[in-house]
Amino acid sequence: MVIKLNLLILLSMLVLQYRAESSGSVVFLDAPGQSFIRSRPSEVDGEAKPLSTNVIAATISVLLGFAPPASLSADSSSKLNEVLFPNPFDRPRAVFLLEIVGINDPLFPIAYSNDKVGTTFSSSVLDSSTASIQLTDEDEVSVTHLDGPLGDKCDAACVERELNDLAQWLEGTYIGFSDSLDGNLSFSRSSDSSFNLQMSKESDRHFALSLVALVKNIKKAVEFNEDFAGNSMSTAELLIGQFTGIEALKEEYGSGHTVQQGMELLKATLTKSFELLQKSHGGKLVGVLLSNSKSYPDLGAMIDVKFSSRESRWLEEGKLPNATIIAEVILVRRSLAWITGIILLVSTLTGVYFLRNMPLTRDTLLYSNVKID
């Protein structure tokens, strides 16, 4: 309960300046009692240096226990040291990455006032270009996508149950009608106000179902991690997702009170979800939250995962040889094999001959390990 309260206080106090040249923000959340993330250093000129998406992706790779891409520049590599502690043997190997689309300011910036919570590192994002977390096929990593839909098998009655479960989990209420998605999802945010989502409206339904999918997939990841908690195999785990519910509310209601209530509900949801993930991973997990004010449907998420095959280390000839060269190579190899075999055979026969005809003297018996009394 203390950790939960501290996290709630932390996430409620977070405020970060929005910079016009940046298109989003990022914050790294550490677990209480852990030291994977540095706190944001104070700049001499009062302005914090932004991070590029490539640096963020490389930081996540290092947190998972893998080396950053070789293409990373020296300046970008130096920024990794600003975010991470220089301890390659102590990495969480579990990262919760969520991109929140449709907000100018991040939901979870930095707070220094509470020393009982984990370290947080907050920064603006330099540009809106996409980047990939570079992994190879040989890397032992489990990737779980948190924004997957409920599935075709989940009919209207199934969706009603999921909405009711979400309401109970967040201490809200859901009033629905059987076999129809026109119910009302309500959450009390304070003593005199409540946040209502009408499932008959497309924007409200999109926000609610996005929240349902996020919570459901996080719970599945927690259950999976608990089932394999005793497994001796060390596998890195990446939980990655993109939340577009806030963007749907902004398109319908604008940047008004409804969107602010939606952000508060998302904040409360992520508070409980992050606590669940930290508990299931024993604190060995770092949260990475991205805010992106712009949506790029054609490009997808700002940061995704890319698997690539490891390049072969065998030396290859520059051009394809012709039949004559192949025949010459085969002839040389066979000649060397025959010559080597003949030399070994002659040496063996010669050695056996001299051993059988060796005179029995004191020296020869001594060399043959025969004890002379």
In this predicted model, what pLDDT tens digit does every residue of 158-214 receive, in sequence order?
888 888 899 999 888 888 766 667 788 888 866 567 888 888 899 999 999 999 999
Determine the Cα angle at 277 with ends 264 and 265, to 5°.
10
* CB-count burial class (<10 Å; 0-12, 13-18, 19+) for 356: exposed
Give burial (CB, 10 Å; 0-12/13-18/19+) of 341.
exposed
> Is there a contact between 293 and 102 (Cβ–Cβ < 8 Å)?
yes
- What confidence score (pLDDT) does residue 366 get? 60
At residue 343, the pLDDT reads 95
∠ Cα 25 261 186 (to 5°) = 140
Nearest to 299, CA basis, from 239, 242, 238: 242
Q: Do 263 and 246 meet the contact criterion of CB atoms below 8 Å apart?
A: yes
* Cross-strand pairs, 237: 94, 142
Whether the per-residue pLDDT at 299 is higher than 60: the answer is: no
Which of the listed ranges 147-151, 163-167, 308-312 does the model predict with the highest average pLDDT? 163-167
User: Model confidence over 250-265: pLDDT tens digits?
Assistant: 988 888 888 888 888 8
Please give the average per-residue pLDDT across 265-293, as a whole number. 87
Total count of residues recorded for the chain: 373
pLDDT in tens, 77-127: 888 888 888 887 888 889 999 999 887 665 554 333 334 347 788 888 876
The pLDDT of residue 367: 58
| C-beta neighbour count of 125 within 10 angstroms | 25
Residue 310 has a CB neighbour count (10 Å cut-off) of: 9
In contact, 259 and 67? CB cutoff 8 Å: no
What was the pLDDT predicted at 18?
41
Determine the pLDDT at residue 214.
Answer: 93
- Looking at residue 316, its pLDDT comes to 46
pLDDT reported for residue 235: 81
Q: How much is the pTM? A: 0.71
Ranking 50-64, 103-117, 166-180, 278-292 by mean pLDDT, the lowest is 103-117
Reported as half-sphere exposure (CB side, CA atoms, 13 A), residue 46 has a value of 1
Under the banding of pLDDT at 50, 70 and 90, the label for residue 30 is confident
